[in-house]
Amino acid sequence: MEKFIVSARKYRPATFDTVVGQKSITNTLKNAIKNHYLAQAYLFTGPRGVGKTTSARIFAKTINCLNIDLENNPDLIEPCNECESCRSFSENASFNIMELDAASNNSVDDIRRLVDQVRIPPQVGKYKVYIIDEVHMLSQAAFNAFLKTLEEPPLYVKFILATTEKHKIIPTILSRCQVFDFKRISVIDIAKYLRFVAESENVVADDDALHLIAIKADGAMRDALSIFDQLVSYTNANVTYQQVVENLHVLDYDYFFQISDQFLSGDITSILLILNDIIERGFDGQHFLIGLGGHLRNLLISRDTKTINLLETSASIKQRYLENASKFPSSFLLKALDLNTQCDVNYKSSNNKRLLIELTLMQMVALGSGIEEYVPKETIPDLQVKKNIKTEIVSAKVEELAKPPQVVEEEKETLNEPPVQPILSEPEEKELSTPHQSISEEQISPTRVQRMPKGMGLGVSIKAEENAKENEINPDAYMIGKEDIADEYNQKDVDKICDEFLESIIQHQSLYATLKSNRAKIIDGFIVELQVYNDAQKSVLSDKLFDIVKLLRTRLNNYKLTAKIKLIENDNNNKPLSPVERYNAMVEKNPNLKKLKDNLNLELEF
Ligand SMILES: [Zn+2]
């Protein structure tokens, strides 16, 4: 095969109609030319590789094209690529179009040179067009030197500024430009264009492979084309899905489909082995979590015909999602996504990152093994077929592995592990009130216990298993026959019991201090709220929540009572604020700040 020309350059669009994924912008520009409404200055903003500079060049070429005939052919607004102006432009020999890369020419002198040239009118064509790329890189002094010219350029001058970072452009410049926001190009659009390039270059490529390249390119056509080039030369012009997976070091969809299948079968062993395989292939945990989050999201949106179009995959993988999605109730997917997000958030600060992921997966399995209990059967026909066999396996294992939450507590303390989410999806976890994370508003009865699925004891809680066998304790045993008892009680009663509870956690100094100064409050007749100020406290307390509920119920003789944890955010002493949180807090104090931000068109930096 002859030397492959870099596709990004060879296939750079030369007309408005061939620009991919920016239809509304190219149409607006064409209409402006057609109706003679040309602004003096444009600002093209958006992520890298989405067509900003390309569109600027096409625009510059079109307004100078000698063959544009608005009177006789008003709808043909494309450069002819044949006239003197178009040709000199294509050969990079045009004096009418200057390009300045502000990343490397950002001094006052560079701008002064540019301003000097502005005075000379065009020789061929109507306009001199200045394209300034990465304009946010101009120094403050260069910006100032530029401002005057930008304000009152000669009629034959047009400026097109391009930037990936609009928020760095000072308002005085912004207000003088017509702004076009270029969006990321969709996976589907990129894949389609890659198909076109592949066919033009006689490259064999399967659809899944092109989609995967498009996903990896993250909305940037330039990146997609350069990845494509690499793969074409590597694979000798025969690009398959498997080769892309290997070369781009991406996590195969197949892994995630296998994992989600095991959520249903409750086979934690297989999941741990799959995770091991993934880690051995050199993927880091966070990479895996992002992939798993994406997979759960894809399953969720595949459940609804209205959202199915949000799925940016090839037809064959879409089909696979459609077939799988019906097996999972939305409530499961939402909770699993929530667990995944929590794990992702805690990942960086965890001392045992792998264990954190493994625990999260176990929690998802525990969640999945309960599906049959709470999903209306008619909504999951596939599951019904397998149900008999599966239920037997799961429930057989479950009975012997069910263990009281107290055992988890002891075990944790003896192992002296960092605080992590509880191994069991205990009832208290359902009660957590975490406004910033909780997706589902569904309230689940506090008395329902998620069973431990098959294989759960493997290497994790052998002690728990033994205990469960020995004692046969049903954590809800104390409730039997008392579900309807609900004696009256008051805050004073609650205070007294909480004091006793405090004594029992005196070794957890920070939690002790928090709960001591923020008494548990009765929210309504049946809900008692405990306040905490950060995730660490929440995590420690949530481990204890079942005990607290049990204690309160027994002592108050009220078995309808539940307790929940409330995470109080924005507390300056305990939790650093993000810029957005700080901004919101400031706006709360002084609403004029928001007006100022909106009027000046400012954006928050994250
Ligand atoms: Zn032309």
Residue 441, token pair as written in the block: 């508003």
296 CA from centroid of ligand 1 (Å):
51
Task: Rank 146-155, 443-452, 475-484 by mean pLDDT and report only the highest.
Answer: 146-155
Contact criterion met (CB below 8 Å) for 231 and 213 = yes
pLDDT at 42 over 90: yes
pLDDT in tens, 169-228: 888 888 989 999 999 999 999 999 999 999 988 899 999 999 999 988 888 998 899 899
- Confidence class for position 604, pLDDT limits 50, 70, 90: low
- In this predicted structure, the answer to whether residue 327 has a pLDDT above a threshold of 80 is yes
Assign 180 to helix, strand or coil: strand
Strand partners, 521: 529
The whole-number pLDDT of residue 310 equals 85
Which has the higher per-residue pLDDT, 69 or 461?
69
Side-chain half-sphere of 351: how many Cα atoms within 13 Å? 5
Higher-pLDDT residue of 573, 558? 558
* 127 CA from centroid of ligand 1 (Å): 13
pLDDT at 12: 85
Q: What is the mean pLDDT of the chain?
A: 77
Question: What pLDDT score does 605 carry?
Answer: 60
Whether 134 shows a pLDDT value over 50: the answer reads yes
Expressed in angstroms and rounded, the spacing between residue 18 Cα and the centre of ligand 1 is 16
Question: Does the pLDDT of residue 325 top 80, yes or no?
Answer: yes
Distance (Å) from CA 105 to ligand 1 centroid = 30
pLDDT band at 414 (very low <50, low <70, confident <90, very high): very low
pLDDT computed for residue 459 by the predictor? 36
- pLDDT category, 480, cuts 50, 70, 90? low
Can you give the pLDDT at residue 606?
Answer: 53
Query: Does 540 have pLDDT greater than 80?
Result: no
* Span of 418-432, 495-509, 554-568 with lowest mean pLDDT: 418-432
- What DSSP designation does 184 have? P
pLDDT at 193: 93
| Per-residue model confidence as pLDDT tens digits over 94-131 | 888 888 888 888 888 888 888 888 888 888 778 999 99
Give kind and range of the element (H or E) at residue 564. Answer: strand 562-567
Residues with CB under 5 A from ligand 1 (ion): 65, 67, 80, 83, 86
Instruction: Report the separation in Å between the CA atom of 88 and the middle of ligand 1, taken as the mean of its atom positions.
Output: 10
Q: Which long-range contacts (CB under 8 A, 24 or more apart) does 293-299 make?
A: 293/337, 293/340, 293/341, 293/344, 295/253, 295/256, 295/257, 295/259, 295/260, 296/260, 296/333, 296/336, 296/337, 296/340, 297/337, 299/260, 299/324, 299/325, 299/328, 299/333
Q: How remote is the CA of residue 190 from the centroid of ligand 1, in Å?
A: 28
Tell whether the model's pLDDT for residue 421 goes beyond 50: no
pLDDT, position 371: 55
Per-residue burial over 240-266, b if 16 or more Cβ lie within 10 Å, else e, is: ebebbbebbebbbbebbbebbebbbbb
Which domains does the chain carry?
A: 22-181 (3.40.50.300), 187-247 (1.10.8.60), 253-402+451-475 (1.20.272.10)
pLDDT of residue 595 exceeding 90: no
Q: Compute the Cα dihedral for 209, 12, 165, 25 and give only its sign.
A: negative
- d(CA 222, CA 228) in angstroms, rounded, equals 10
The alpha carbon of 316 and the centre of ligand 1 are apart by a number of angstroms equal to 43
- DSSP codes joined into one string, 439-507: -------TT--PPP-TTTTTTT-HHHHHHHHHH---TTGGGTT-TT-B----HHHHHHHHHHHHHHTTT
Cα of 157 to ligand 1 centre, how many Å? 18
- Confidence at 366, pLDDT banded by 50, 70, 90: confident
Ligand 1 centroid distance, CA of 411 (Å):
78
Structure tokens at 560: 């309808």
Per residue in 424-450, pLDDT (tens digit) is: 333 333 334 434 433 333 333 344 434
Tell me: pLDDT of 374 over 60: no
In sequence order, which ranges of 306-329 are alpha helices (DSSP H)? 315-325
For residue 378, the 8-state DSSP code is G
More confident residue, 555 or 457: 555
Distance 93 CA to ligand 1 centre (A): 14
pLDDT of residue 450: 42
Is the pLDDT at 253 greater than 80, yes or no? yes
118 CA distance to ligand 1 centroid (A)? 23
H/E stretch holding 77 reads none
Q: What is the pLDDT, as a whole number, of residue 113?
A: 87
Task: Give the model confidence (pLDDT) of 285-320 as tens digits.
Answer: 998 999 999 999 999 999 888 888 888 888 888 888
pLDDT for res 218:
86
Give me the half-sphere count of Cα atoms (radius 13 Å) on the Cβ side of residue 452.
26
CA of 158 to the centre of ligand 1 (A): 18
C-alpha 149 – ligand 1 centre gap (Å): 28
Give the model's confidence band at 3: pLDDT under 50 very low, under 70 low, under 90 confident, else very high. Answer: low
Q: How far is the CA of 61 from the centre of ligand 1 (A)?
A: 7
Instruction: Kindly list the strands in the beta sheet with 527-532, ordered across the sheet, starting from the edge strand earlier in the chain.
Output: 521-524, 527-532, 562-567
pLDDT grade, residue 474 (50/70/90)?
low
At 132 the three-state DSSP class reads strand
What spacing in Å lies between the alpha carbon of 125 and ligand 1's midpoint? 9
Q: What pLDDT score does 471 carry?
A: 43
Question: Ligand 1 centroid vs 12 CA: distance in angstroms?
Answer: 17
The first and second tokens of residue 232, run together, are 């074409």
**Residue 68 alpha carbon to ligand 1 centre in Å:** 7
* % of residues, the chain, pLDDT over 70: 77
Predicted pLDDT at 5: 59
pLDDT at 507 over 80: no
Average pLDDT of the residues in 364-380:
58
Q: From ligand 1's centre to the CA of 83, what distance in Å?
A: 4
Task: Determine the pLDDT at residue 22.
Answer: 92
Specify the pairing of strand 521-524 against strand 527-532.
antiparallel
Average pLDDT over every residue of 386-391: 41
Token output for 32: 């402006």
Residues in the chain: 606
Say how many Å lie between the CA of residue 14 and the centre of ligand 1: 11
**Model pLDDT, residue 425:** 37
Residues 55-69 have a mean pLDDT of 91
